Amino acid sequence: MILNDPSHLQIRKGPPRPQDAIDPIASTANPHDMTDVDDIGDALTLLAYSGDAISMYAAGSRKAVLGRILSVDPELPHFVMELNEGEKLAPGSVTFVAWLRTAKLQFRLSDPAWRSAPGKPTLIPMIFPDKCEVLNRRAAERLETPLGANFRASFVLNGNPYELPLYDFSLGGVGLRCAKSEAKGLFRGRKLVDVRLELGPETVIVTELEVRLSRSYRSFLLGEQLHIGCKFIDLRPEMESEIAALLAKMNNAPRRC
């Protein structure tokens, strides 16, 4: 077991916060199974390297125990889970859920005791699962907004007005684009109310959003940018129909060479 790897610790995020909790994959979803041990090892290593949140659910419980993967053994199918300070795992079966790039990753492990590493109560050595369930994040078709068109979101948060361009949109939500200096307060789990979405010159809707993810990327023209993914909250049927019609129209529009 590798209980301390400085190469991971250099870039690791802070301990997960309550708003970082991730719901398990719904029973009605249709994930695919990842069973190759090398693929599983690569996925767990990526999560360890980033320090992304892991939500752990004991059988029959809806309350998430939060933690991160500290390290993954480079040769054996072993890894070390790092629980948040004060957290404990209930004996028995536990479901582990995480976001892995553009997909939700879920697996189950069981132990009658969940013994921690000697002298380190928050570190629990574990063995790879036999399989992981993988569900693509983008359950709805997503369309990037065309250059030069008027696609933007306007809202007020903590008394401050925001007007951000849309990176993409779908029936499930929208992606906002902004500089890091413009993203104050837009952390994961934040609810945005009365958001005015301008979806081109003819479609305007007002709805609520929830921030679900934030990733950085580099634009050739704009430099370092953030892509902030937001999910629709209780989107009304008529609004959903408007967005579906717009997606269909844009997908069927002739492309310029």
Report how far residue 21's alpha carbon sits from residue 141's, in angstroms, rounded to the nearest whole number: 25
Per the structure, the complete domain to which residue 115 belongs is given by 6-136
pTM of the predicted model, to two decimals?
0.54
Q: pLDDT of 43-61, one tens digit each?
A: 999 899 888 899 999 998 9
**DSSP designation for 11:** T
Q: pLDDT of 63-86, one tens digit each?
A: 999 999 999 998 899 999 999 999
Q: At residue 221, does pLDDT exceed 70?
A: no
First to last CA, the chain: 55
Q: Is 127 in the same domain as 19?
A: yes
Stretch 145-158: mean pLDDT = 83
Report how far residue 84's alpha carbon sits from residue 90's, in angstroms, rounded to the nearest whole number: 14
pLDDT value of residue 256: 43
In a domain, 257, yes or no: no
Residue 41 is part of a domain; what is its CATH number?
Answer: 2.30.110.10
User: 64, 182, 67, 56: which is closest to 111 by C-alpha?
Assistant: 56
User: 20, 23, 25, 93: which is closest to 50 by C-alpha?
Assistant: 20
In a domain, 1, yes or no: no
Q: Is 77 in the same domain as 62?
A: yes
Q: How confident is the model at residue 94 (pLDDT cuts 50, 70, 90)?
A: very high
Length of the chain: 257
Instruction: Work out the mean pLDDT of the chain and round it to a whole number.
Output: 84
